[in-house]
């Protein structure tokens, strides 16, 4: 390890110890904001609320909903090999998705805070045989403690943006630092792979993006039909996974366009449903008639905005609205996943901030399947053009799905790369099961 990397890790570790007295205040604040589960807050301290199962255990960590949805098919494959999976996430929304969709043999806990005594407590209880992190979940204390316990750690669906690379490169200053502790990285793209290798990961392979192999988001047919009947005869547009600062622009576009299209209905699905009341108040202050899904308010002929502030229902609105603006792109969040919209034949619009999924958006933009929006005025104009030409809107939507077809196959490629690590654990698990012996 270089001197600079060692000094950075030491400083990070000491900062963690210094922050320990502040952790209760931090978690209390996050709980008040709806970002922590008060009933399970102890899990964030590394205190398990479940017993460790006997046999081999694979620890899979994903940060939030997008990463959770992407990796769940892989979790299912690992469980089918006869292995137990401890699945950790950070956000409340991702925990809810995991609880609903994890297969038998996998179970959820909240991720421990990345502070040495907390991580040690977590690892002492769970004793994972293999650790898998999804996308860009880089936690220095967790990584160094896994090395100390000789636990292989693998990045799957690994992503390293140019901006993050520059930041990490200054810290690492050569190979052998933090990234040298990673056993293997399975990168989303050639660019991600090159950057991870330059940071010091020894074994880098490009296996593609798992999100391309995820089935379209589920939606109960009766729920889809219920919303479809409510919006019949209206021009419907959905703004999906929006963040603070985006809803204002969408509202402005709606106000401009409704003078020409009085039947317009905009559906806003915020990335964080807990923001629903604040968004409603902002929209109402602009003179817009808002119906709030979490409150059970119906869509009426007077409704301007339908605020779908609920969890796990985006699939309904992608099936009802022919046009979608994908959020996290008008503000510098980096862009959320447009794949689900493309799978359901929705015409895609997005802002300029797409560095989290640059390759996907590039493929869509390059072929005319998606369009970059930079202002509320442009959004209103593009929506008006698309609503005026339904055939062009359908062609764009169909072409979006076609543009993403060549990117599939990441799930199989990822499993093939993991076989040398999973197979010995599975064989041992089967032997112990036959012998009836504990771990």
Reference 117, options 141, 88, 138, 139; nearest CA is: 141
DSSP 53: P
Question: Which residues have CB under 8 Å from 49's CB, separation 6+?
Answer: 40, 42, 43, 109
**Helices and strands in the chain: count of H runs, count of E runs:** 17, 14
Whether residue 108 contacts residue 87, with contact meaning beta carbons closer than 8 Å, is answered with yes
| Residue 10, H or E segment | helix 3-19
Whole-angstrom CA distances from 157 to 187, 198, 213, 413 are 5, 17, 12, 11
Whether residue 130 contacts residue 154, with contact meaning beta carbons closer than 8 Å, is answered with yes
CA atoms within 13 A on the CB side of 105: 16
Determine how many CB atoms are found less than 10 A away from the CB of residue 228: 13
Counted residue by residue, the chain has a size of: 439
Question: Which residues have CB under 8 Å from 164's CB, separation 6+?
Answer: 136
Beta bridge partner(s), residue 291? 306
Reference 304, options 231, 375, 249; nearest CA is: 231
Question: Which residues have CB under 8 Å from 196's CB, separation 6+?
Answer: 155, 158, 160, 179, 182, 185, 187, 204
In 42-199, where does DSSP find H-type helix? 65-80, 92-101, 116-126, 140-148, 162-172, 190-199
List the catalytic residue out of 67, 81, 247, 340. 67
Catalytic, 222? Answer no
Whether residue 254 contacts residue 289, with contact meaning beta carbons closer than 8 Å, is answered with no
CA distance 348 to 346: 6
Whole-angstrom CA distances from 129 to 74, 90, 413 are 17, 21, 22
Look up residue 179 and give its two tokens. Answer: 């990234």
Which residues are tagged catalytic?
Answer: 67
């Amino acid at each position: 390890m270089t001197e600079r990397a060692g000094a950075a890790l030491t400083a990070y570790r000491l900062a963690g110890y210094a922050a320990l007295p502040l952790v209760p205040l931090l978690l209390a604040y996050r709980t008040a904001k709806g970002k922590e589960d008060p009933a399970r807050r102890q899990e964030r301290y590394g205190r398990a609320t479940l017993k460790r199962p006997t046999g081999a255990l694979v620890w899979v960590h994903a940060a939030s909903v997008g990463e959770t949805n992407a990796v769940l098919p892989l979790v299912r494959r690992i469980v089918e090999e006869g292995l137990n999976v401890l699945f950790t996430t950070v956000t409340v929304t991702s925990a809810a998705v995991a609880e609903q969709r994890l297969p038998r043999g996998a179970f959820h806990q909240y991720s421990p805070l990345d502070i040495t005594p907390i991580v040690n407590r977590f690892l002492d209880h769970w004793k994972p045989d293999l650790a898998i992190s999804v996308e860009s979940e880089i936690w220095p204390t967790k990584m160094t403690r896994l090395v100390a316990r000789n636990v292989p750690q693998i990045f799957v669906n690994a992503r390293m943006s140019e901006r993050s690379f520059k930041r990490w490169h200054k810290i690492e200053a050569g190979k052998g630092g933090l990234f040298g502790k990673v056993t293997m990285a399975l990168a989303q793209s050639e660019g991600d792979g090159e950057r991870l290798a330059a940071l010091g990961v020894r074994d880098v392979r490009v296996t593609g993006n798992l999100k391309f192999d995820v089935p379209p988001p589920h939606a109960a047919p009766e729920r889809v039909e219920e919303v479809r009947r409510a919006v019949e005869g209206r021009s419907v547009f959905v703004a999906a996974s929006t963040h603070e600062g985006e809803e204002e622009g969408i509202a402005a576009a709606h106000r401009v366009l409704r003078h020409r299209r009085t039947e317009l209905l905009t559906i806003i699905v915020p990335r964080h449903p807990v923001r629903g009341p604040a968004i409603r108040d902002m929209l109402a202050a602009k003179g817009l008639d808002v119906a709030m899904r979490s409150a059970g308010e119906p869509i009426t002929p007077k409704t301007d905005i339908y605020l779908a502030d609920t969890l796990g229902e985006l699939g309904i609105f992608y099936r009802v609205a022919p046009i979608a603006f994908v959020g996290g792109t008008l503000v510098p969040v980096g862009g959320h996943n447009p794949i689900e919209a493309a799978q359901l034949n929705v015409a895609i619009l997005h802002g300029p901030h797409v560095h989290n999924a640059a390759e996907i958006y590039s493929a869509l933009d390059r072929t005319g399947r998606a369009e970059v929006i930079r202002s509320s005025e442009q959004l209103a104009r593009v929506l008006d053009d698309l609503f005026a030409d339904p055939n062009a809107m359908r062609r764009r939507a169909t072409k979006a799905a076609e543009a993403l077809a060549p990117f599939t196959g990441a799930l199989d490629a990822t499993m093939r790369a993991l076989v040398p690590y999973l197979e010995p654990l599975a064989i041992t698990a089967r032997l112990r099961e036959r012998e009836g012996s504990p771990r």
